[in-house]
Structure 1
Amino acid sequence: MYHYHFAVASQTFFLDQEPMEEILRERTNYYISSNKEIDFWFTLNPCFYYDINKSLNKKYTHKSLAAIISLDKDFIQWLKLRVAFVETGSFESNIVFLPESS
């Protein structure tokens, strides 16, 4: 069982209002320089979120969502402090998220 942590917000917030590309690029470069395996993913319309807690979804009913998912709880907590207007949480799954091959 894998324990994932996530930060979710509207796609508009992540893609237009916050410098997410820069944040994720810096994080990727840090992982590469530290010889760490990438353990975070950015996804649009995260299906898992709608299944976790129906009460959280009321504010996002009419919005397209995006999420950053990670195995690293500290990274998601740091992200919450960095961008502020995100919902965070965690879930367990038997499914392994794999980075896309280039």
Structure 2
Amino acid sequence: MRVRARAHADAASTEVKQFYYCVANADFMLNDENNEHFPEILRERRRFFKEKGKEQDFWIVPNPAFLDAMPEVKKKIRQPCVAVVTTDKVWNDFVKLRMDRVYKGGVEGAVCDILKSAAPVEADAFEAPKTWTAPYAKYAGGWWHVFEPNGDF
């Protein structure tokens, strides 16, 4: 699969690029009932990219290591955290508009440094909600792993 191999190669690249990110508490971004639309946004974008043969330009980075160089930003985000990282500024603005309580920014760096995770977020990291009011079943824990830099895009 050419697209998958290219996405994996990009994650190890030392090429310097401009990246944009939205970062928030991991429980909020990956598990909160109010953000149940978030997995669908990512899945739809992935489907579109596969149909068009486009290379992956967005990732979920658990506990992004690049935040260590930004202590003023890191202290604003409850830990553990997760970032949606992309090279597409317009799509990053879209993600920010679709979600509240996320911090949006940009960073330039080597692909391998920006997509590096300081620690994973495990599939069972969050407590099951006591009540679930959505008219459909909750997504299974770990749904985000496919969008990580070495995921099965």
In the superposition, the TM-score normalised over structure 1's length comes to: 0.84
**How many residue pairs were aligned?**
100
Unaligned residue ranges in structure 1 (runs of 5+): none
More divergent stretch after superposition (14-23 vs 78-87): 14-23
Structure having the higher Rg:
2
Identity %: 30
- Relative to total residues, which structure has the larger strand share, 1 or 2? 1
Please name the residue that 2:26 is paired with.
11
Please name the residue that 1:33 is paired with.
51
Alignment match of 1:54 (pick from 65, 71, 78): 71
Higher relative contact order (CA 8 A, sep 6+): 1
In the superposition, the TM-score normalised over structure 2's length comes to: 0.59
**Deviation for aligned residue 1:99:** 4.1
Large movers: runs of 4+ above 6 Å: none
Question: In 2, distance between residues paired with 1:54 and 1:88?
Answer: 15
Q: Which amino acid aligns with 2:26?
A: Q
Alignment match of 2:101 (pick from 70, 77, 85): 85
- 3-state SS of the aligned residue for 2:111? coil
**Deviation for aligned residue 1:49:** 1.6
- 3-state SS of the aligned residue for 1:29? helix
